[in-house]
Amino acid sequence: MIKSITGTKDILPAEIPYWQRLESIVEKIFSSFNYKEIRTPVFEETNLFVRSIGEETDIVGKEMYTFNDKSNASITLKPEMTASVARAFIEHSFGKLQPLNKFYYISPMFRQERPQAGRQRQFHQFGGEALGSASPLLDAEIIIIAFRILASLNLKDLTVKINSLGVPSSRENYKNILRNHLDGKKNQLSEDSRKRFDKNILRIFDSKVESDQEIIKDAPVLIDFIDEESKKDFELVKTLLKQSKVPFEVDTKLVRGLDYYTKTTFEIVSGKVGSQNALCGGGRYDLLIEQLGGAPTPGVGFAAGMERILLACQNEKSLNLPGEKIDLYITRVDEDLTQKVFELAVYFRQESLIVEFDYLGRSVKAQMREANKLNARFVLFVGGEEFKSKKLILKIMATGEQKEYPLEELNEIKSFIYDEVYKSYPNY
């Protein structure tokens, strides 16, 4: 049997309502902040990701789906979206059309890692990017949007963590201070952390090894060494978040793994999804656009993992979706009326009702069982006796009551169903 590729999953009809609910909330909330949707290709020139995410990162170093196409160009399936949005922003000269551009997206992403709870090789993210302003108003806005989407899904077990990485010069300065501080204890660190010491010393703070945590407990923290402007901006972000009633905590150890971040970074974690607990993460990247060859353009954004969010919703039972219903099931009493049933179904479907009937030539009882299973609100009987006298019977499934209609008056049946459906679902 051919199965889906490791780390990929089919999203089956039964789960689709949850995805659609999530997507519609994403669209609604981004739209209210006037972000515009953007869709980019699933693959890009490999170099785009190498240059934006950073050669030393794990994503670029070992997780990308990279291959050569027939003209021998190196192609990569997108592992994240910010690089692609930045590329499109530069390519289509958005910066020249207007000073500030706000985008959102919903898209599959690809990373070749070992799958586990909340992690797949093809997964889906939504996210937003605001390009063209260094104002902390946008840092706060981005965090508020992310939080509001999760809150709209009724998720409770959430922690918003924020931090500031400052500008590169102050960060480099701090790295030296940290390096000096840890130098004497380097060989007490875990093997992984010793590697981090040389490659990306900030990441030692992420270590889950207890002895590492012990060693860095009293190390100087980045936030105390960042430049004045970054400090001021960070204060404003915190004030704005408080104003908007977004609960957050400052996590001075929050260091994100992508090279392009500057100043504000944030993450929202859930206590309900296993060890891969980050539902979304993001921050400011004021140098990225320039680095990719565009005019200097500050930016801030975030990405959120949809599988993880839906996993949290499932584990918190936070989404209470109504059961699926169909409006009308048409039951054929005599076999030779199949064509008439088909004709009626096509007619009512044109009136935008959800209509089903039996294609398999089954008994009336089986058809009724099917109608019940599909949660049909109404059943229309097309049957010998009445049909000869040009009548149809409509059964209201909730009450069992039956009404008779002349075959000529399909309109009346339609209006009756409309009224009943509208009564129970005013927003139908």
Partner RNA sequence: GUGAGCGUAGCUCAGUUGGUUAGAGUAUCAGGUUGUGGCCCUGAGGGUCAUGGGUUCAAUCCCCAUCGCUCACCCCA
| Contact flag: residue 366 with RNA (CB under 7 A) | yes
The answer to the question of residue 398 lying near RNA (CB under 7 A) is: yes
8 A C-beta contact, residue 18 and residue 310: yes
Q: Total residues contacting RNA (rule CB under 7 A)?
A: 69
Among 29, 35, 38, 57, binds RNA (CB under 7 A): 57
Site string for RNA, 174-213 (x = CB under 7 A): ------------------x---x------x--xxxx----
**Positive or negative CA dihedral for 254, 256, 262, 267?**
negative
- Identity of the residue, 70 or 208, whose beta carbon is nearer to RNA in the bound complex: 208
Q: In the range 5-24, which residues lie near RNA by CB under 7 A?
A: 6-7
In 91-137, which ranges are E strands? 101-110, 122-131
Tokens coding 405: 């209609």
- Amino acid letter, residue 80: E
Q: Residue 426 corresponds to which tokens in the numbers above?
A: 């005013």
Find, among 164, 219, 166, the residue nearest to 189 by Cα.
219
CA dist 211 → 109, 181, 189, 253, 343 (Å): 35, 16, 7, 16, 74
Q: Check residue 369 for interaction with RNA (CB under 7 A).
A: yes
User: How far is the C-alpha of 150 from the C-alpha of 248, rounded, in Å?
Assistant: 14
Minimal distance in Å, beta carbon 97 to RNA?
28
Instruction: By CB under 7 A, name the one of 136, 281, 294, 299 that touches RNA.
Output: 281
Minimum separation from the CB atom of position 295 to RNA (A): 25
* Range in contact with RNA (rule: CB under 7 A) among 23-31, 43-51, 113-121, 409-417: 113-121
Pairing of strands 74-77, 66-68: antiparallel
User: Between 35 and 381, whose beta carbon lies closer to RNA?
Assistant: 381
Q: Rounded to whole angstroms, how far apart are CA atoms 193 and 179?
A: 12
Stretch that binds RNA, among 13-21, 158-166, 342-350, 375-383 (CB under 7 A): 375-383
Nearest residue to 237 (alpha-carbon basis) of 283, 174, 205, 170: 283
Give least dist CB 228 to RNA, A.
28
- Note whether 279 binds RNA by CB under 7 A: yes
299 is a contact residue toward RNA (CB under 7 A): no
| Separation between Cα atoms, residue 77 and residue 161, nearest integer Å | 30
Is residue 44 near RNA by the rule CB under 7 A?
no
Tell me, rounded to whole angstroms, the distance of Cα 147 from its chain centroid: 13
Main-chain dihedrals φ then ψ at residue 7, nearest 5 degrees:
85, 0
Window 65-94: residues binding RNA (CB under 7 A): 80
Binding residues vs RNA (CB under 7 A): 3, 6-7, 57-59, 63, 80, 111, 113-120, 123, 125, 192, 196, 203, 206-209, 256-258, 267, 274-281, 303-305, 307-308, 333, 360, 362-366, 368-373, 379, 381, 383-386, 393, 395, 397-400, 402
